[in-house]
Structure 1
Amino acid sequence: MAAFILHLKSCLPSAIRSLILPKKAYIRNTSGMAGGLQPASVVVLPRSLALAFKSFCQANSGPLPLLSQSEQDKWMLPALGTAPEARTVCPQFRKYEFGVCTGGLTSLEDYAEQLKDMVTFVLDCSFSLERALGIVGLSRRNPAGLSHAGAYKTTVPCATVAEFCCPLVVTMRPIPKDKLERLLQVTCSMAGEQGQPIHIGDPELLGIKALSKPDYGNCVECQPEDVPVFWPSQLTSLEAVISCKAALAFTSMPGCTVMTHLKDSKTPASCLTPKTVPEVHHISQDPLHYSIVSAAAVQKIRKLEETIAIDPGNRGIGHLLCKDELLKASLSLSHAHSVLVTTGLPTHFNHKPPEETDGPPGAIALGAFLQALGKNVSMVVDQRALSLHTKLVEDTVKQGVLKSQIPILTYQGGSVKDAQAFLCKDGDPKSPRFDHLVAIERAGRAADGNYYNARKVNIKHLVDPIDDLFLAAQKIPGISSTGVGDGGNELGMGKVKKAIKRHIRNGDVIACDVEADFAVIAGVSNWGGYALACALYILNSCEVHGRYLRKAIGPSRALGEQNWTQALPSITKEEKMLGILVQHKVRSGVSGIVGMEVDGMPFHGVHTKMIQKLLDISTEHV
């Protein structure tokens, strides 16, 4: 038997000898150590599972960047170093039987016969976060000794392929918030997509309950000014091996790698473009959450914000504008799953209905695009306007403005408890029904408790206290809010009430006192709704943001771009929408005319030009 083993060793390719020969009883953490070679982790599976595992890696390329695999009919590990004694670090393996880890191995010598019917997969581990931290000027805070930094199983499911069904595993580093942007640019310059984190902020958003208890390795403690930043981990492969329950399988031990000669295919810094250069933006404090988007997408959304901020009514709204509110609002909406939209400013109190043509078109346009993204959308309106809005939604579906019905709700208030019960399942603030509220040209409560139109006329008798929902949302973690307005008396404009009182006519009386997290200012509120839809199109067409949204697992969402284009606001759809409002005798806000105009300005010529400008910005190639 001994003679046979010696003969076998002499016949094997040097690559596979690097797996079998080393038997020294020491363990080295090789994460971040390259020395000119490319480090990789190894998964060895029965040949019957090879095709499925390859597809699984391709479907989840973020945590499982597949470099190579041995050929189906040949027992070898492709393209490893030719002199294992000098060029490879002693690998250590985990052995799995039917999904259970049954021990650690310093070589696979005792399994030479079984390996003949197995396939070896090589996963890229070359991205060195420690090196990136050094470039940014952050000292290494890995656990002492030879242990590797902690990794965590999340509640985020990987894309399932055949027998392979497992959660995403991530690694975490605490990063001072003032270093986030620089670190992200360095990591993406070094490693392209593989250097991009998949989550920045509260670990519970990934289903991680305690950073002090990693599933692999040892935790790295966060300091007061740190933000937890998470990257996809190749340790996801261990969970995949567990899930397939193969009779026999092997993986690299966490923290230990094999050094290969395989070429690095990542994007060098010189190839980064505005479409791939990432930016970090803070979108929520409770829970703490940051988002990532490309510089090119940010540039477009800022152009949208600038475009809608013109002041055709000379109201002084330029003084209310806060930079990047449209960007942050759209980023927050992009991460949302269930959105509640409200509209309705009954300025024509002597007519029935008292509503105006500004508000509903913007709300419906945003709702249409949220539907295209697969989000749950509902609307909440005044009880007295329920019938009107129900008919509006029905007609928009019939005419193809909306793809499907939007549920119409009402809220007549009573107490903080009532508002919480409306927003949350069983009134439990830990289970919100909605994660984003949007008000578009919605009457907002002033400091004296009344509601006013632009002429200081009190319209409180026509308005239900939907403001209470926005106030309650401020105290419920996980619910963000956006207010869109053009005059200062709209729900959400409390965020800029000082400027309203100083610069808007009658502002000291009409200014809304209720804040939204984000205040989008537009010359006409409908334009703000259109701009939000366009910004969502830009974000979800952005590869950098799309990868962050899907946590680097599953196919790119850009596959749905054609449907998203059809869901954008258009001159044709908005003309139909305004025509529906005219049929229901809804009037222009300034003139009171029942006709094809909004805020006293004709649809054709003014609003059509704005819609086209927003579409041109959204769909242009940078």
Structure 2
Amino acid sequence: MFQAWQGITRALTKSIRLYPVQRLMCAKVTSTRLCSGYQQANVVILHKSLADDFEAFCHANPSPLPLLYRSQPGEWGCPPLAAEADIRVDCPQYCVFEDGLLVSRVSSLMPYTSQLLDMVSFYLGCSFSFERTLRDAGVPVRNVEQNCNVSMFRVRQGNGGFWQTSIRCRGPGQFQCPMVVTMRPVPKEQLDIVAQVTHLTPLAHGGPIHIGDPAVLGILNASKPEYGDPVTPGPGDVPVFWACGVTGVEAIRSCKPPLAFSHSPGCMFLTDQEDTFVSAPTPEPEQCPLTFSISQQPLHYSVTSKAAVQRIRDLEEIIGEDPGQRGIRALFIQDELLRSCLSLSHSSSVLITTGFPTHYMHDPPEETDGPPGAIAMAATLQALGKEVVIVTDHRALEMNCRIMEDAVKKGVIKTAVPLLSYQGNSPDSALNFLCHDGDPNKPRFDHLVAIERSGRAADGNYYNMRGVNIKHLVDPIDDLFTTASHISGVNTTGIGDGGNELGMGKVKEAVREYMPNGSLIACDVAADFAITAGVSNWGGYGVACALYILSLCSVHQRYLHKGLGQPYPPAQDLKQAWAASLPSVAKEEEMLSILVQHGVRSGKTATLGMEVDGLTFHPTHSDVITRLRDSALQRK
């Protein structure tokens, strides 16, 4: 029965080509319903003098402009895609541009035949080609249900906190334009299957380039698309955005050629190829996307491969080991390391804070857990092109500056990280510290990380694990985290190993129930992500290694870069620089030695020696570092 219906559909398609009058009657019907099951194409027609530049532009931006076929000048057909084709009449409607301006919409290009002799037609993949596949997978396609065209938006300046970015296409030549995206509302529970199904269609734009709040893409009103029709979401739907071939229309506008043509958005060229033509076999784990929520304000999901997820979960298991028998597994939440690092991967500027003055009877009172993990994270974030600052207590600022200088000299980190302090002298201090001019729409940082940083308890005091109040040694850096929770687009991470650390308020009920002195010492300040580790430094090492894994994941990198630019893997020199930034036994042993030279002691025993939390560097810490590094580098 289905094969018979396919034959009827193809007959209708051919009749549209062969009989312009019938095609005109269908001009207002979008091609998504005319040819379900067949590959469709966007069309751009340019003078032959622009053809090479536009082809290079397509190759530089393969997600919005997947090139299916480039014609010869004056060639009406496209043999690889359709028999008996004639581009002058085969789209239900065309746009005519003069000097980059839309001057008319026409049902035929036959009157322009003489001009077309010197013009080249480009056939570009279209997301309509995967809509039947989505329906076959049980995913509702709302624009089809509502009998309307898909919503299409011109991407402007992002409005998602520090994620603000102008998503412009890349490449050489005369074409400089923003990307156009389509939006389809998808039930939240079906995001994984949608990402996986469409990832298999690279010639139909591939997988999503954004999932979540339209404002992150600069789309302020999703009910007013620039092209197509408004589409009403269903209950529990999440906006999902794909790159769109109407980007070719924007390219024409930007180049301002004397004469150019395109299909009218939604009125595609219909090929003879079944939509299986654009699909690939079921992906291996390296190419199987999974989606994860990384923010609720604004709503934002990230995407990475199943293989990367498993490798980061392996890291999470390593850092969660508890050789000190502290019972920290009771605080564990799966995938906090993964989701934190996905968020950090999207970030541009990161604030890290550390410092736990547990040894209140010594000078300095700091412990050796925290600073090594902070610097390890900073090294990898810097290598990935992020801006990083470290915030510490004012009384310890000078000492930490000297430690940073020594870390650079000894090769622990390539470039010194700026060190700041925060005292919180007024009610607006935190907002002014975090945002330019105190404006929450202009945050300086898009992610705050606390690692082994003393955290404020419910009574306003700060306690070490023995229940001693050390508030007199601690600046109110917690205020930065509580303020950040009200700034759109700014996420926070807390890394701890006992529950009294800043950010671990997310698991405070478990701390109160399972940790010694938990009802007293539990930090009351929550972070968006709470990473539990056997030793907090290990959490920092795990973050560095997880970021490295994500940097080499082609699925994640494509999503991160919105499908623009050349595809990954990265250049070898970049990969080597990222690997060089990872923690190693040699670097971390050197870092611990620097801390000891500055009088910093082991947290549990107050020993001034090569140990952290009462565990000697060899073999305990060195073994964990080796296993984390080997896992990141995929060594056996």
Q: Same fold (TM over 0.5)?
A: yes
Q: How much does 1:561 deviate?
A: 2.4
**Cα separation, partners in 2 of 1:566 and 1:594, compared to 1, 3 Å:** same
Counterpart of 1:473?
484
- Does residue 109 (structure 1) correspond to residue 110 (structure 2)? The answer is yes
- SS of the aligned residue for 1:529 comes to helix
Counterpart of 1:178?
189
Q: How much does 1:76 deviate?
A: 4.7
Counterpart of 1:514?
525
> Taking structure 1 as the reference length, what is the TM-score of the superposition?
0.92
Q: How much does 1:78 deviate?
A: 3.1
Q: Equivalents in 2 of 1:280, 1:59: separation in Å?
A: 26
Q: How much does 1:364 deviate?
A: 0.5
Q: How much does 1:22 deviate?
A: 4.1
Counterpart of 1:349?
360
Counterpart of 2:634?
620
* Cα deviation digits, residues 270-307 of structure 1 (max 9, x gap): 44111111111111111111111111111111111111
Counterpart of 2:13?
none
Contact 1:37/1:260 (8 A) holds in 2: yes
**Cα separation, partners in 2 of 1:366 and 1:192, compared to 1, 3 Å:** farther
**Cα separation, partners in 2 of 1:617 and 1:32, compared to 1, 3 Å:** farther
**Cα separation, partners in 2 of 1:453 and 1:90, compared to 1, 3 Å:** closer
Q: How much does 1:191 deviate?
A: 5.6
Contact 1:143/1:220 (8 A) holds in 2: no
- SS of the aligned residue for 1:157 comes to coil
Q: Equivalents in 1 of 2:559, 2:177: separation in Å?
A: 19
- Does residue 365 (structure 1) correspond to residue 365 (structure 2)? The answer is no
Counterpart of 1:531?
542
Cα RMSD over matched residues?
Answer: 2.5
Q: Equivalents in 2 of 1:132, 1:265: separation in Å?
A: 9
Q: How much does 1:228 deviate?
A: 0.7
Contact 1:342/1:381 (8 A) holds in 2: yes
Moved more, 111-120 or 250-259: 111-120
Match of 2:261 among 250, 253, 259: 250
- SS of the aligned residue for 2:153 comes to strand
Q: Equivalents in 1 of 2:592, 2:394: separation in Å?
A: 22
> Taking structure 2 as the reference length, what is the TM-score of the superposition?
0.90
Counterpart of 1:586?
600
Q: Equivalents in 1 of 2:274, 2:204: separation in Å?
A: 16
Counterpart of 2:222?
211
- SS of the aligned residue for 1:413 comes to coil
Q: How much does 1:530 deviate?
A: 0.5
2:374 is aligned with what amino acid? Answer: A
Q: Equivalents in 1 of 2:417, 2:604: separation in Å?
A: 28
* Cα deviation digits, residues 416-439 of structure 1 (max 9, x gap): 422111111111112111111100
**Cα separation, partners in 2 of 1:20 and 1:581, compared to 1, 3 Å:** farther
Counterpart of 1:611?
625
Tell me the matched-pair count. 604
Structure 2 unmatched runs, 5+: 1-15, 157-166
Contact 1:445/1:451 (8 A) holds in 2: yes
Counterpart of 1:295?
306
Q: Equivalents in 1 of 2:439, 2:524: separation in Å?
A: 26
Counterpart of 1:78?
78
Counterpart of 2:59?
58
* Cα deviation digits, residues 547-573 of structure 1 (max 9, x gap): 110011112353132321111111222
Contact 1:22/1:90 (8 A) holds in 2: no
Q: Equivalents in 2 of 1:338, 1:382: separation in Å?
A: 20
Match of 1:422 among 412, 419, 433: 433
**Cα separation, partners in 2 of 1:310 and 1:32, compared to 1, 3 Å:** farther
Structure 1 unmatched runs, 5+: 1-17
Q: Equivalents in 2 of 1:542, 1:32: separation in Å?
A: 36
**Cα separation, partners in 2 of 1:90 and 1:366, compared to 1, 3 Å:** closer
Counterpart of 1:42?
43
Contact 2:372/2:588 (8 A) holds in 1: yes
**Cα separation, partners in 2 of 1:486 and 1:35, compared to 1, 3 Å:** closer
Counterpart of 2:615?
601
Contact 2:76/2:85 (8 A) holds in 1: no
Counterpart of 1:152?
153
Percent sequence identity is 53
Q: Equivalents in 2 of 1:621, 1:190: separation in Å?
A: 32
Counterpart of 1:68?
69
1:185 is aligned with what amino acid? Answer: Q
Match of 1:444 among 455, 459, 463: 455
Q: Equivalents in 2 of 1:490, 1:125: separation in Å?
A: 50
2:78 is aligned with what amino acid? Answer: P
Q: How much does 1:245 deviate?
A: 0.9
* Cα deviation digits, residues 290-336 of structure 1 (max 9, x gap): 11111111111111111111111111101111111111111111111
2:286 is aligned with what amino acid? Answer: K
Q: How much does 1:98 deviate?
A: 1.2
Moved more, 19-28 or 587-596: 19-28
- Does residue 307 (structure 1) correspond to residue 344 (structure 2)? The answer is no
Counterpart of 1:238?
249
**Cα separation, partners in 2 of 1:565 and 1:193, compared to 1, 3 Å:** farther
**Cα separation, partners in 2 of 1:32 and 1:584, compared to 1, 3 Å:** farther
Match of 1:165 among 170, 173, 176: 176
